[in-house]
Amino acid sequence: MTTLSEFKVLLAQPVVAEATLTALRADTRIGAQRLLAQYERHQAAAAASALALQYRSRYERELWPRYPHIAGIDEVGRGPLAGPVVTAAVILPHDFALPVNDSKQLTAHARTLLFPQIVSQAVAVSLGVADAQMIDRENIYHATELAMATAVQHLRVRPDYLLVDAMTVPVPLPQRKLIKGDANSLSIAAASIVAKVVRDRLMVMYDQIYPGYDLCDNMGYGTARHLAGLDALGITPIHRLSFSPVREAATRAGQH
C-alpha cells in the first residue's frame, strides 16, 4: 500500500497521475482522505484564480494584438482631507499572472507582497503626484487628471493605449475609461496597488512630520481622530483648504 508520505510526494508533482487520485479516493485511511481533500481544495483555488485572471485581462487581450504596450492608470487619495493624490501608470507583460485585484479588496499585507513583484515584472511603472496646493489650485478632479498625465508621460516605454479607471487622461493617446476599472482590468488593478502602497507609505512618513492627526492609521481621511487633531492643532501644509472641514478648521484657528 502506498504510504501517506509517498502520496504527498506524488501530489506535489507538476502533473498528478489520474491513477494516484483514483488510489487516494479508494483509500479509506483518514490521512489519505485529508490529503485528497487538501489537493482538491488547492485545485479548485487554482482554477478560480486562473478564471479570475482570464476575466480581468479580457480588455488587455482584446487590445494587445493592435496595441502591444497598454498602460493601466489609477489613482488613490481623492477623498482624504490631507496628503496628495497619487497616480500610477503600469505597463504589464503579456504573460503577467500575479493575482492582482482592486487594491481596496486586498489586505495591506497582500498589497505589500504584490508591490515589489509588480514593479519587478512590469515593462514600465511610473507615478504622478498632485499635492494639496495643486489640488486647491486646480480642484480635485482636474488635479487628478494632471497627475495621471504626469504618470503616463514619465513611463520609460511609451504606451500605445491607456486603460483608465473612470477618468480621461489629458494626453494624446487612445484610451478607454472603465467603470470600476481596478476590478475589471489587470493593468488598472496593478496600478491601483502601486499607487495605494506608495501613498500609504507617504502618509506614514507624514504622520512622523505632523503628529496628532493619526495620519498613519487614517491615511488623511476625515476620521474622528483626524478631525479632533484639526480642532486641537489647526491645519498643516499637507491639508487641502478646498475641502470644507479643513477650511472650517483653518478659520477657527485663524489660519485662513
pLDDT interval class at 65 (50, 70, 90): very high
Question: Smallest Cα–Cα separation from 138: which of 128, 127, 129, 146?
Answer: 146
Q: What average pLDDT does the chain have?
A: 92
Least confident interval from 48-57, 62-71, 205-214, 234-243: 48-57
Q: Note the pLDDT of residue 24.
A: 87
79-137 pLDDT tens trace: 999 999 999 999 999 999 888 887 788 889 999 999 999 999 999 999 999 999 999 99
Strand partners, 228: none
Full set of structural domains in the chain with CATH: 4-55 (no CATH), 59-193 (3.30.420.10), 206-252 (no CATH)
Sheet arrangement for strand 175-178: 124-130, 85-91, 70-76, 161-165, 175-178
Report how far residue 231's alpha carbon sits from residue 226's, in angstroms, rounded to the nearest whole number: 9
The per-residue pLDDT for 14 is: 81
pLDDT at 103: 79
On the question of pLDDT at 43 being above 80, the answer is: no
User: CA triplet 190, 193, 197: central angle to 5 degrees?
Assistant: 145
Asked whether the predicted pLDDT for residue 44 surpasses 70, the reply is no
Q: What is the pLDDT of residues 162-187, one digit of tens each?
A: 999 999 999 999 999 999 888 899 99
